Structure formats: C-alpha cells, structure tokens
C-alpha cells in the first residue's frame, strides 16, 4: 500500500496519495514507517504542520519498537522543522 502512495505522489496525485497513506496508518498503527510516509504526503501538499506531526509520531513509534529507520525519521523531523522555520509556516514541535 505504501508503494501505491508513493506512485501517486510521483504522478503528482497528492490528495489521492494522502488518502492511501492515511488508510495505511489505519491498517498499521504500530508501524513508524506509515506515519513517516503520511508525512511525506503532507509535505508534498505543503502542509508542514501535519507533516511535522506525523513525523513526530514516526519518531515516537519508532522509539517504542526500536525501528531500524529511527535515525531517518529524526532527520526527516529536523528537516521539516527547518523548512517550516524558513518558510514561516507552522511546523515546529507540537505538544502531544
């Protein structure tokens, strides 16, 4: 399902990709990767606040399950925060 979401992103069908990524989160809420993928969708849609929120969730879940991609999720979060700060859009760390 994740592959379908990324194919839709590659085809510039961002809204459809977000729908697929959201469904993937519903199916696999214990997977850190699904939240990071949803964040990619929101980032492609310039919704940096939602992208940051989902990347934070990926870091949170990844920490709990000792995900081997945790470092990549943390780097994604840093990049999103920097991007949000540079654009003046909200996207800094959100309170849970």
Query: Is there a domain that residue 7 lies in?
Result: yes
Query: Is there a domain that residue 51 lies in?
Result: yes
What is the domain range of residue 76? Answer: 2-87
The reported pTM is 0.90
pLDDT of the residue at 95: 37
pLDDT of the residue at 88: 78
Average pLDDT, the chain: 93
Dist. CA 43–CA 15, nearest whole Å: 11
For the stretch 7-46, pLDDT in tens is 999 999 999 999 999 999 999 999 999 999 999 999 999 9
User: What is the Cβ-side half-sphere exposure of residue 61, based on CA atoms within 13 angstroms?
Assistant: 18
Please state the domain count of the chain.
1
């Amino acid at each position: 399902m994740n592959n379908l979401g990324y194919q839709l992103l590659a085809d510039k069908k961002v809204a459809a990709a977000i729908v697929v990524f959201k469904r993937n989160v519903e199916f696999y809420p214990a997977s850190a990767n699904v939240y990071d993928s949803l964040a990619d969708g929101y980032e492609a849609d310039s919704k940096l606040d939602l992208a940051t929120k989902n990347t934070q969730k990926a870091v949170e879940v990844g920490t709990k399950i000792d995900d081997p991609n945790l470092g990549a999720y943390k780097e994604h979060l840093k990049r999103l925060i920097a991007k949000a700060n540079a654009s003046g859009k909200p996207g800094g760390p959100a309170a849970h």
